[in-house]
Structure 1
Amino acid sequence: MLKDFEKHCKSTSLSPICTSLVELSMQAFGVNNGNIPKWENAIIDLEANQPGPVSFKHPFVAIDSDINPNQLTQSLKQLMPWRKGPYQIGQLNLESEWRGDMKWDRLKDHIQPLAGKAVLDVGSGNGYFTYLMALQGADLALGIEPFLLFNYQFQAIRTLISNPPKAYVLPLKLEQMPMQPSFDTVFSMGVLYHQKDHMLHLQQLKNVLQDDGELILETLVIDQMYGDQIIPEDRYARMRNVWCLPSTDTLHTWLTQAGFNNIRLIDATKTTPEEQRATHWIGDNTQSIKDFLDPNDDDLTVEGLPAPKRAIFICNK
């Protein structure tokens, strides 16, 4: 996959940074992780199947295939948990924890067309959204995701596609990206609240954007009635490393301070069990949003904080 990426990348506007991205990715894949043989074997098993064409068949990134669903299930379950999706491969519906199509539906009519663009998907997970960006006609849709399992999930899906779209996922963090104005559109979805320094993250997003480029920022927020921001003392909805939950007004101020313009809030939606749910594709830990909320008040988390609500901002450099 890295060879395919490098060859394609060098034919795009990202050519100056391609070699650096490949070298950093090779280093990341070279770490000592005891799960890698299992993940690689799952992909080898998948390679024995006849690949098929891919398209978006709402809500699925769907691959038209005659692969035996039982055999497919056995291989793909070696790569659990599947957080982002859903995917459909032939007769198999891979029902991930998150219904990514619901988030995509909220933003797709508000963004600039992706056709012919260089697009960056920060914290891409297994590449569900990255595939959607490529299927919209992006010249190159690059997902960056430091968690290795999700990189192998992306490779597993790609193995099953006969003519893969121009989508790639590399095992990188945003801070590893060359801080050059390389991308026309940048997505940061579900990442900001995990950043100890939120302003640094916003600045890095701005640095990799072309002039007049578009940022799509999706993150957890609170209603103004709870104040300007909440800094959880420990966990938030049982998540570690949630550093700050701003109000939408506060987040607008942060984006202004970071130097973005044309800032607009296009959506703010409470997360429901329809969008985030436990499925048998997430493995032994079957907890999901229902388990993270106060059983007596679904407006609160189990820690007594405001229940998850996600806002989408769009702005320009």
Structure 2
Amino acid sequence: MILFTDEFRLFFNDSSLQEIADKCLKISLDAFNVNNGNIPKWTIALDELKAIPKGEIGLNEPYIRIDQNGADPIELERAFKRLLPWRKGPFRFNNLKLESEWQGDFKWKRLQKHISPLKNRRVLDVGAGNGYFTLRMAMEGAKKALGIEPFLLFNYQYAAIKSLVNKDINAMLLPIRLEEMPKLSIFDTVFSMGVLYHQRSHMEHLLQLKDMMVPGAELILETLVVEGPNGYSLIPDGRYAQMRNVHCLPSVETLKSWLVDAKFKNIKVIDISKTSPEEQRRTEWIGDNAASLEDFLDPSDSSLTKEGHPAPTRVIIICNN
């Protein structure tokens, strides 16, 4: 079990977060106690990393960097490779570069100058993966940066990273789904990035996000979109870019209308970018199943997916509760 109650209580030692602490702790402990055959391997990785000296965390763009005196790079690599695949990052540990599939720095740079400063804000990162962006939020000065991510491997990856840091960084990742979170208006900034298109009900997701936000709070929404007029959406029949569970890709105008219907205000499109092979790429850190963006596109026409849909394009929208 990788969630230590003391660490949890330290993070939730906050007047607002204490209101949801008990329920979040119960859900998290239940999640970590599931029967998963990979847990022994992941636990070995954590034990190996806990024996390595802790170090300072910092930013060496595009990497989140942790430097430890005397750490053996071979030991570091062996431990981190027990936790494959690494989707979000990248990270750097001394001279070891953990090149994740996604170059998260690309996305962060697209939104960083447009959002309200995170300093002293309570921040929720929904669908946080291994916490790369949650850590970036904490490093921007967030009072508390809470990531929620139900996929257990990503929680172990986050625990592995944090086990090497020598100080508290006001960040935490928990194995919780948004719909399981207590419905209390707590957070000043909420991020939902790469989540909406996996939802069967887009409106339910938007309203669940709204439930977590204090009046005037800021939502940063990033999702896949397609070209088209207001009212148009692509509903893939089967996979989209080899991804399962992609339910709906709206046009930008359709997405904005959804946000209006959910009573969000001050809706601003700050970026529309086609995903590039530089941002999402094949690396040794995604394991034996090393397919990535280039493998998901039509080999004769990179503007289309293998299924014949428009290639991935993502929008970032900022709005207020």
Shorter-chain TM-score range: over 0.9
**One of 57, 71, 74 as aligned partner of 1:70:** 74
Is the alpha carbon distance of 1:12 and 1:99 closer, same or farther for their aligned partners in structure 2, counting shifts above 3 Å? farther
Contact 1:134 1:165 in 2 (8 A): yes
> What SS does the corresponding residue of 1:219 show, helix, strand or coil?
strand
CA deviation string 1:239-297 (max 9, x = no partner) = 00000000000000000001100000000000010000010000000100000000111
Cα distance in 1 for partners of 2:15, 2:183 equals 17
Cα distance in 2 for partners of 1:18, 1:25 equals 10
**One of 173, 181, 186 as aligned partner of 1:182:** 186
> What SS does the corresponding residue of 2:65 show, helix, strand or coil?
strand
Aligned to 1:18: 21
Give TM-score, length-normalised by structure 2. 0.97
Give TM-score, length-normalised by structure 1. 0.98
Instruction: Give, as a single letter, the amino acid of the residue that structure 1 aligns with 2:152.
Output: L
Cα distance in 2 for partners of 1:79, 1:285 equals 14
Contact 1:6 1:19 in 2 (8 A): no
Aligned to 1:162: 166
Cα distance in 2 for partners of 1:56, 1:23 equals 33
Aligned to 1:37: 40
**In the alignment, is residue 206 of structure 1 matched against residue 213 of structure 2?**
no
User: Alpha-carbon deviation of 1:18?
Assistant: 1.1
Contact 2:231 2:254 in 1 (8 A): no
User: Alpha-carbon deviation of 1:13?
Assistant: 2.4
> What SS does the corresponding residue of 1:105 show, helix, strand or coil?
helix
Identity %: 54
User: Alpha-carbon deviation of 1:164?
Assistant: 3.4
Contact 2:231 2:253 in 1 (8 A): no
User: Alpha-carbon deviation of 1:219?
Assistant: 0.2
Residues 86-105 of structure 1 mapped to structure 2, 5 A cutoff: 86-105=90-109
**In the alignment, is residue 145 of structure 1 matched against residue 110 of structure 2?**
no
Q: Is there any run of 5+ residues in structure 1 with no aligned partner, and where? A: none
User: Alpha-carbon deviation of 1:12?
Assistant: 4.3
Aligned to 1:301: 305
> What SS does the corresponding residue of 1:70 show, helix, strand or coil?
helix
Instruction: Give, as a single letter, the amino acid of the residue that structure 1 aligns with 2:126.
Output: V
Aligned to 1:59: 62
- Larger mean CA deviation between 247-256 and 158-167 belongs to 158-167
User: Alpha-carbon deviation of 1:87?
Assistant: 0.3
Corresponding pairs, count = 317
Structure 1 segments (4+ residues) deviating >4 Å:
none
Cα distance in 1 for partners of 2:100, 2:229 equals 33
Contact 2:230 2:253 in 1 (8 A): no
Aligned to 1:233: 237
Contact 1:221 1:311 in 2 (8 A): yes
> What SS does the corresponding residue of 1:62 show, helix, strand or coil?
strand
User: Alpha-carbon deviation of 1:180?
Assistant: 0.9
Instruction: Give, as a single letter, the amino acid of the residue that structure 1 aligns with 2:190.
Output: V
**In the alignment, is residue 133 of structure 1 matched against residue 137 of structure 2?**
yes
Cα distance in 2 for partners of 1:227, 1:220 equals 16
Contact 1:29 1:148 in 2 (8 A): yes
Cα distance in 1 for partners of 2:8, 2:142 equals 14
Cα distance in 2 for partners of 1:162, 1:125 equals 22
Instruction: Give, as a single letter, the amino acid of the residue that structure 1 aligns with 2:23.
Output: S
Contact 2:11 2:171 in 1 (8 A): no
Contact 1:13 1:118 in 2 (8 A): no
Cα distance in 2 for partners of 1:177, 1:6 equals 17
**One of 103, 110, 123 as aligned partner of 1:119:** 123
Q: What's the RMSD between the two structures over aligned residues?
A: 1.2
Cα distance in 2 for partners of 1:12, 1:110 equals 29
**One of 206, 220, 224 as aligned partner of 1:220:** 224
CA deviation string 1:164-217 (max 9, x = no partner) = 311100000000001110111000000000000010000000010010000000
> What SS does the corresponding residue of 2:207 show, helix, strand or coil?
helix
